[in-house]
Structure 1
Amino acid sequence: MCPRVNSRAQSALSRREVLRAGGALAATGAGLLAVPPAAAAAAGPFAHGVASGDPLPTGVLLWTRVTPAAEALPGSGAGPEVSVRWEVALDEAFTRIVRRGTVATGPARDHTVKADVTGLAPGTWYWYRFRLGGAVSPTGRTRTAPATGSALARLRFGVVSCSNWQAGHFSAYRHLAERDDLDLVVHLGDYLYEYAPGGYQAGEVLVRPHDPPVEMTTLEHYRRRHAQYKTDPDLRALHARVPFVVTWDDHESANDAWSGGAENHTEPAEGTWAGRRAASQQAYAEWMPVRYEPGGRLYRRIAFGALAELSMLDLRTYRSRQAAHPLDPVISDPARTITGSEQLGWLTAGLVTSGAQWKLVGNPVMIAPVRFPSTLSTRELEALSQLTGPLEGVPVNVDQWDGYTADRARVLGALRDHGVRDTVFLTGDIHSAWAAELPADPLTYPLTRDSVGTELVCTSVTSDNIDDILGVPPRTASVGVEAAIRVANPHLKYVELDSHGYSVVEVTPAAVQMDWFALADRTDPASAARHNASFVVRAGTQRVQRTGEPLR
């Protein structure tokens, strides 16, 4: 869920060359594909870059999209069937090629290409590329997961969510791509947005308009929008640099989506919800580097030796409809669900039986309970309601786990009853930074000291937050709001409502640490970033503590 605002209204390149090209294009505001799809086609058959994802100890998924003919534009349904070759090597010069193969593609899958490569060595960096005729794609770099059960001293990855093309440039991706210390990137949802140009903006800010120039409702629309996002030079550079592990939230289909509809969907004017959701899921399967095919299961678990398991959740496909308001008695109805019964059983069983030290959960919406203080002004409450969903001026996020308390109790109860330690939920969605402890009983916390896990929430890459909605400078009106929220919720140790940017997480046997980095200006394609805060979860403690030093 995100603010309910105006919901209707080429040769192989080295890493240095990729980053230099991306930075130069971004700095001029004329990135390779901040332009219409037809112009993208002129950039060559690999105009949408390369990507990898879902690393396993002996394999990884490779992705690209080809434009084999001028008419084969994204979403067009036109163009020839072609065979695309792929190569994986141990060196960037491709003198030691270890795997190669061919994949057929065509208009039925929008000329996207996926190669699920196997037979690789665990914990190893590889380089990969694609060929179509005499054309060669940019070179990508990827890494396999460590061997099953192996000791691992460190895992470090970027964490991002809520990247709205119209609200700004993706400088956060550029800063992550420029790092030399990341094993992967975790994207927690809202990779793209469904709105038409001018929709969903605070202060009528429109940095760059969406293509197609309508709200996405059809397969053609979703394909074109995915294509547009994959023309951003900073996103292309990051995809080419490290593998991604992704899940969706709601804007990959429509705002506040649930199993039978969405807030931002109207029947019959926009067709059936089943048809729209199927279109969004097909485009996602085609355009994202993920082991998912339409009608399949997106939630999955990826292991990193004995150190950590990452469980990625799907909290849109199976959920019950959101409660009508915060006092709606259905909120605690055990028959309602945010996960679906099968996914909930998979999640709790995995947490209880995991052999990994750290149980990480890729969680699209916040699980920590949040009570909003009555001391806030009407204007502050209205601004918060843009992030959490309004009800007669009283903001309560019934789209988060707060609206599905029976499922949350089942998850936290399983952690408590089985003595599970070192569970960390990594969360996006709410366009702000939070660090929380997860009390088994929020009403008695912290007197009972019964935290059963922790939650670390990343900011948005570009999507609006409190200062944008209020139209005030950062770190002004929000400071008092943050303090009031913390007083009303003693398990919340950090709340920052203004910044856009990215996070970096490090996992070691001793601790999990998240660093938050804030962009100076989301509308500036060359924006600098600064370290904002760091919090650490020490092994066995179930607590979050501030630390002054970012990861080195």
Structure 2
Amino acid sequence: MGSLLVDENAPVSYSAPPGSVRRRTFLEGAAALTGGAAALLAAAPARANSPIFAHGVASGDPLPGGVILWTRVTVAPEATPGSGLGAPASVRWEIAADPSFTSIAATGSATAGPDTDHTVKVDVTGLAPATDYYYRFTALGTTSTTGRTRTAPADSASPERLRLGVVSCSNWEAGWFSAYRHLAARDDLDAIVHLGDYIYEYGRDEYGGRHGAVRGHDPVHEIVTLTDYRIRHAQYKTDPDLAALHALRPFICTWDDHESADNSWSGGSSKHDPAVSGDWRDRRAASARAYLEWMPVRANGSGDNVRIYRRLRFGTLAELSMLDLRSYRDREAKAVTGWREIDDPARTITGKAQMDWLTAGLASSPARWKLVGNSVMIAPLVFPPLEPATTAAFTSVMGLPQAGIPVNGDQWDGYTADRVTLFRTLHERGIGDVVFLTGDIHSSWGADLPIDAANYPGGPTVGTEFVVPSVTSSSIGELLKAPPRTIAVPIEESIKGINRHLRYIELESHGYGVLEVTAARATMDWFYVLDVEDPNTGVRLGASYTVASGGRMAPSPAPIG
């Protein structure tokens, strides 16, 4: 399996405007859309979003022959999101191979009504694989802005590369969504993978950034009801940087906890009080319904029985399994009193059906690279990961989990039986080239995944994990309230010294990842915005790691840039 090497100082292929360097070089200009992406859309008869299509257009879940198209129609001034007001309206959609819509590939009509908050989601089929398409909607005599999307390669195709933008944790109040703007400026991405916390549920001024909230949440209270969740999703869709990225690239998304409530599990949330907020099942069903209305994702079921874990193929090069690690998990074990529960084989983070689906899919995948969209960190982060005999003796005497004390029981560290099952399956079946893409913890990590962390680097590893930073949500470094790259640096080094399989850690910066997969290697570039509280901020390349197919460590090639 692969191991990681870093090149933190390789040049990035963006040009920096004069006088804009802060902390490091490698900056990008502040234009919202630059380069090829803007040029492509400029050729289309695109219109600025009118009041009818105030929430933009989006696409998602690309297949070789199809893609989801999405929009929301404001049928009347009073028909605001969540209001339930406004009559149904007929909406025509078109998708074409050219931005002038002279070569229509498919067209049809749908109804935007109050039962779906006047959103429209169409699963278009009959398209050609590996093809750029342009799409638009027309309703009430008005045509939306033009969006662009791309279908996946044919299952039998062997594409030279796959390139994905990877993001998570975008809190409206904590900063501006500049990471989305910089991703939109690239013209080399096949899709955007969003690993959860697309919205946040907090009330206004409850969870801002380093200096408080840069902008206020709507509604002002913590969201609980279907109306609340609809309003919050609608607010996020009005962000111009997010809207631009949605209009340019298909999204592949899963949810984490903040789409419903903090630290959620199958039966509740650490922040949900039934006496105040009502039955958890009602809240969970409301959050899921609003999510499916407002997001371009495929799902099965409804209410609190929605299944969103799913798999997407990119020819023989890669297959992406998107997980749902909130709907089926047991409650998080509590520190001290619940430490021994962590090893209980009856406890689960995936649920049995999803684990069976995941392991079977990884074992049977015809693709070279097995990518896993994973909302919470799977790499062990424990104290102390001593050599195996010492760890066993220490944890037995102290009454601790067998692998050591977990730092965060909300991660896979709190559900060790599922991780053991998954890792052993990968090892025993010889499943190689597995890469987990992860969000959640508002920081950047690159890790080898050993069968036994205490024995690393001895013994086998079963894959690699790349954890991307938050788009805006407060980082560990910010919570330390220290100057950048001061206190956080020795903490990072200390963690790596104790957990040797953790090869790269950056605890402070916000931004995004860009993953490139070729037959020979998988490379992750971490990009960091310079100031999340500046809507025009630039970006720098933070690090680049490469995992060679079928091998361990190899010199890292130049970053993707």
Normalising by the smaller structure, the TM-score range is: 0.7 to 0.9
User: AA paired with 2:242?
Assistant: L
2:449 aligns with 438
1:487 aligns with 497
1:517/1:19 CA distance change after superposition, 3 Å: farther
Q: Does 1:513 align with 2:535?
A: no
Deviates more, 1:405-414 or 1:264-273: 264-273
8 Å Cα contact 2:207/2:213 also seen in 1: no
Give the SS at the match of 1:68: coil
Write the deviation string for residues 21-45 of structure 1: whole angstroms up to 9, x where unpaired: xxxxxxxxxxx9xxxxxxx9xx411
Q: Does 1:423 align with 2:430?
A: no
1:142 aligns with 149
Give me the whole-angstrom Cα distance separating, in 1, the residues matched to 2:231 and 2:153. 36
Give me the whole-angstrom Cα distance separating, in 2, the residues matched to 1:431 and 1:199. 17
Structure 2 counterpart of 1:303, from 309, 313, 338: 313
Q: Does 1:549 align with 2:554?
A: no
2:339 aligns with 328
Where do residues 260-409 of structure 1 align in structure 2 (5 Å cutoff)? 260-292=267-299, 294=302, 295-325=305-335, 328-372=339-383, 396-409=407-420
User: AA paired with 1:547?
Assistant: S
Give the SS at the match of 2:382: coil
1:203/1:54 CA distance change after superposition, 3 Å: closer
User: AA paired with 2:364?
Assistant: T
After TM superposition, give the deviation of residue 472 of structure 1 in Å. 1.3
After TM superposition, give the deviation of residue 17 of structure 1 in Å. 8.3
After TM superposition, give the deviation of residue 550 of structure 1 in Å. 1.8
User: AA paired with 1:442?
Assistant: A
The gaps in structure 1 that reach 5 residues or longer are 1-13, 21-31, 33-39, 375-393
Give me the whole-angstrom Cα distance separating, in 2, the residues matched to 1:496 and 1:215. 31
1:195/1:138 CA distance change after superposition, 3 Å: same
8 Å Cα contact 2:475/2:509 also seen in 1: yes
User: AA paired with 1:481?
Assistant: I
Deviates more, 1:418-427 or 1:439-448: 439-448
Give me the whole-angstrom Cα distance separating, in 2, the residues matched to 1:269 and 1:458. 34
Q: Does 1:461 align with 2:468?
A: no
User: AA paired with 1:63?
Assistant: W
8 Å Cα contact 1:194/1:216 also seen in 2: yes
Structure 1 counterpart of 2:214, from 207, 218, 221: 207
8 Å Cα contact 1:437/1:544 also seen in 2: no
Q: Which has the higher contact order (CA 8 A, sep 6+)?
A: 2
2:8 aligns with none
2:136 aligns with 129
After TM superposition, give the deviation of residue 150 of structure 1 in Å. 1.3
1:98 aligns with 105
Write the deviation string for residues 356-384 of structure 1: whole angstroms up to 9, x where unpaired: 1000000000000002579xxxxxxxxxx
After TM superposition, give the deviation of residue 16 of structure 1 in Å. 2.8
After TM superposition, give the deviation of residue 443 of structure 1 in Å. 2.0
2:7 aligns with none
Structure 1 counterpart of 2:38, from 16, 19, 23: 16
Give me the whole-angstrom Cα distance separating, in 2, the residues matched to 1:249 and 1:353. 27
8 Å Cα contact 1:373/1:485 also seen in 2: no
Give the SS at the match of 1:93: coil
Give the SS at the match of 2:515: strand
Alpha-carbon RMSD: 1.8
Give me the whole-angstrom Cα distance separating, in 2, the residues matched to 1:155 and 1:83. 37
Structure 2 counterpart of 1:113, from 104, 111, 120: 120
Where do residues 193-232 of structure 1 align in structure 2 (5 Å cutoff)? 193-201=200-208, 203-232=210-239
Write the deviation string for residues 132-158 of structure 1: whole angstroms up to 9, x where unpaired: 032000100001110112111100010
Structure 2 counterpart of 1:170, from 149, 160, 177: 177
1:152/1:16 CA distance change after superposition, 3 Å: closer
1:82/1:546 CA distance change after superposition, 3 Å: farther
8 Å Cα contact 2:75/2:140 also seen in 1: no
Give me the whole-angstrom Cα distance separating, in 1, the residues matched to 2:411 and 2:76. 44
Give me the whole-angstrom Cα distance separating, in 2, the residues matched to 1:447 and 1:297. 38
TM-score by length of 2: 0.86
8 Å Cα contact 1:156/1:183 also seen in 2: yes
Give the SS at the match of 1:235: helix
Give me the whole-angstrom Cα distance separating, in 2, the residues matched to 1:302 and 1:206. 37
8 Å Cα contact 1:519/1:530 also seen in 2: yes
After TM superposition, give the deviation of residue 549 of structure 1 in Å. 2.7
8 Å Cα contact 2:165/2:514 also seen in 1: yes
The gaps in structure 2 that reach 5 residues or longer are 1-35, 43-47, 386-404
8 Å Cα contact 2:208/2:214 also seen in 1: no
Q: Give aligned-pair identity as a percent.
A: 58
2:421 aligns with 410
